[in-house]
A and B are shown apart, each in its own frame.
Chain A
């Protein structure tokens, strides 16, 4: 477990800090509700603290994602319905620090990309997020979602194709607007 000098507490703290934002975000992407996502992430971390570190693996990322996902889906199922439209986290959340995206004027583009992403179905969104936000390999995505590795590849590829078409369409529309 980590370096030999590190205590289990330190090990836990290190990994919780490292995964905090990503797990909250991951749960949020499943639940569409930030508050619930925070609860799920918190609960996942509490479970991590209670778990025997030897059964979790080091680093504990795979375990954290799996538990977080299961918790989020459990909760999701308990609810009668879920908000159809995701609110953008960018609007919902206060910035933690100065916003570099704002400064460089990239926020608009980010919004467009995220907007296009939200038009995909949940399965597609989840695979895309696990790949590009969480940097998971196909194999890891398969382990987290229970999909077959080949299927992960297929979903990712078709999702990217869809996104490209969507974004290209938006660009054309925008330039036509400007021209008009």
Chain B
């Protein structure tokens, strides 16, 4: 154990008490707190101070209020609604013009910026003089209402300097400007006018003081124009930088009428802070919630989306498979609560893999069957959509090896909600009823400390197991680590070398108390997985879910991470798919696709961002990858750009090279075969250490998506929905209507009703907009 001394000046103390730490820091903090009495005393003091500050400030705020007249004016304004965004924007410009005329002292820069705005406005013919009559009365009213303050606020340019030396930190106009920029860019709805406006106004935007000089009363109009200029300049610059530093990526096609920063998708190593900035920008652009990343106390971490990659530069796409489905059930829960899920909670591969696409089973001895299908991409008619389907061997209950299961159940106080411990009990009872007489079950619970609630018991004594489950009660704090150690011990005592040995963790994700670093925990789980005890993790409930932590734990433990939001979901996982859940047919399953540059110019893997591997990893048997359970299928979608069209969407033609594409002389004979690509899959037997290879190629004519198979269209619907929820810059012309059309045409194979449920969920999401 490393010494964990947190110094009292360490700002992580306050963050731990009053905000959120990342899970590793949180654990360090909790451990330091339990080991350092002086830190504990410090925390108590700080918490007391926090309470006092809350009380005093609330008391102070309780008396701050508008005057009666002010409140009446505001309430009257809530009734005067503005019908349409675009109309209001025009009103903003005219208001700005009006103020300019009223106040000739406003500087030249403003006038110049106004001219620039007029140029673009007239060019686009969006702003018509008729709008003036429509809107003038409205602004007159509001200016009068705000009169006392506007008088004071009209800019006196010289005042800026007087601020210097004050401790007020820099004024952040940026969010407001960006927001207005988004609005005004909506007004001009084609890309060419964006570019031309940028070139017209760049001279003015280069004057740093321009943005400061606007009369504040005109911000809605004036700042919109200036902000748009600045924001676009920044975007263009960033895009150029991104493209020059990373020539392998092709910028995403900007969807019509919505400005998207193409560089969003390019950077692989963005920090979380940068990510939330982008996200913030995206959310404002599409007009939904502003709050960027937090959703209650739930943690989500999202890597940047995969960009388009040029086949000439990177013909190989390599990733580890993922059969998790937690993201979909979690999204379903959030949507059904009437909320929009945070974009970071959307993992498209987990949405895709929630559904059954009825792929044919493998023939012969191989554990996998590979299925490839392509058709025109529903959200981008220029592109093709490729579906990679991998079907694992199905195993019936009779062939299932004996099970040695240890349920590790979180019974801490936070688990008392109906959708937590009570649902865990019901879910595991379902599972127990599916067991064969040769199977065994033990029960370890943890709260403040861990407890063996039921020693390993044969499934013949089902009633004993069910009674022990029924007796579980919640209460106390959480010590996840102690529980995990004990669960592994029990599993090892009854290790069945020919059977399946599993720890099944059921928790709301709160590993807060007492766990030493995450690394140590991960190492423990990995060691146990190597010795044959795998870990399955099931998240229950909400509000406290540490999504990323749970997924990581399950991955390291060679197990599956699932999220159980309802009894219905428990039935799916523990009854209908119990063999997929518990029987691993292969481990370290990796996929590599080689694209043929004669037919495919660029490609983008949709989802699987945290599963990407280097091309060398594919043949490296030491490299850990995903596991597949019996009957599991894995689905991945690629958006393909046909050869020769990959550089239309953002990369300039090169000055010194004829073409970025591979010259024909470098192509092999196979390139002329008419094959689009070759799919290769490597796997190991569950206890094996050498990998096996299976491969197949796709040769197919062009096909409209309407001609594709039902299950292809359904997969496209799921991905399209994911792109919308993620607010992805790659969503093209995806829309709820398109998603419904795709899914609605693919309902024939729906034995369990999951596809129909998906369709309802799309409608739910649509009603939230």
Contact = CB atoms under 8 A, between A and B. Distances in A.
B56 A113 contact: yes
Contacts of B111: none
B38 to A, nearest CB: 14
B15 A160 contact: no
Interface in B23-73: 45-46, 49-50, 52-67, 70-71, 73
Contact of B78 (A41, A49, A121, A128): A49
Contacts of A94: 63
B290 A41 contact: no
Given A34-B64, A132-B54, A153-B12, A146 B174 contact: yes
A57 B63 contact: no
B62 A96 contact: yes
Interface string B165-179: 011111111111001
B176 A67 contact: yes
B73 A73 contact: no
B46 A164 contact: yes
A164 B70 CA distance: 38
| Prevailing SS type, chain B contact patch | helix
A29 B88 CA distance: 32
Contact of B64 (A12, A75, A93, A128): A93
A161 B9 contact: yes
B18 A45 contact: no
Contact of A89 (B64, B66, B149, B220): B64
Interface in B273-289: 273, 276, 280, 283-284, 287-289
A55 B287 contact: yes
A48 B471 CA distance: 54
B146 interface: yes
Interface string A142-171: 111111111001101110110110010000
A154 B18 CA distance: 12
B279 to A, nearest CB: 11
B583 to A, nearest CB: 42
Nearest to A113: B56
Contacts of A20: 65-66, 71
A24 B67 CA distance: 10
Interface string A56-95: 1110101100110011011111111000000011100111
B707 interface: no
Interface residues on B, range: 35 or more
A167 B55 contact: no
A154 B13 CA distance: 10
Interface string A103-132: 000110111011001000111000011011
A177 B75 CA distance: 51
A106 B20 contact: no
Contacts of B145: 42, 46
A41 B66 contact: yes
A139 B160 contact: no
| Prevailing SS type, chain A contact patch | helix
Interface residues of A, number: 95
Interface in B99-153: 138, 142, 145-146, 148-150, 152-153
A4 B49 contact: no
A9 interface: yes
A179 interface: no
B146 A149 contact: no
Contacts of B8: 161
A71 B289 CA distance: 22
Given A43-B146, A62-B291, A133-B61, A77 B163 contact: yes
Contacts of A88: 60
Given A122-B168, A153-B19, A143 B57 contact: no
Nearest to A110: B56
B80 interface: yes
Given A4-B767, A89-B60, A138-B19, 7 more contacts: A41-B70, A42-B149, A49-B78, A50-B88, A138-B20, A139-B292, A161-B8
12 contacts: A37-B64, A38-B65, A43-B146, A49-B81, A63-B290, A70-B172, A94-B63, A95-B63, A96-B65, A133-B58, A146-B170, A164-B49
Interface of A: 3-4, 8-9, 12-13, 16, 20-22, 24-25, 28, 34, 36-43, 45-47, 49-50, 52, 54-58, 60, 62-63, 66-67, 70-71, 73-80, 88-90, 93-96, 101, 106-107, 109-111, 113-114, 117, 121-123, 128-129, 131-133, 137-140, 142-150, 153-154, 156-158, 160-161, 163-164, 167
Interface of B: 8-15, 18-20, 45-46, 49-50, 52-67, 70-71, 73-75, 77-82, 85, 88, 138, 142, 145-146, 148-150, 152-153, 156, 159-160, 162-163, 166-176, 179, 182-183, 216, 220, 273, 276, 280, 283-284, 287-294, 338, 767
Q: Which 6 A-B pairs have the closest CB atoms?
A: A146-B172, A57-B290, A54-B287, A157-B11, A93-B63, A133-B57
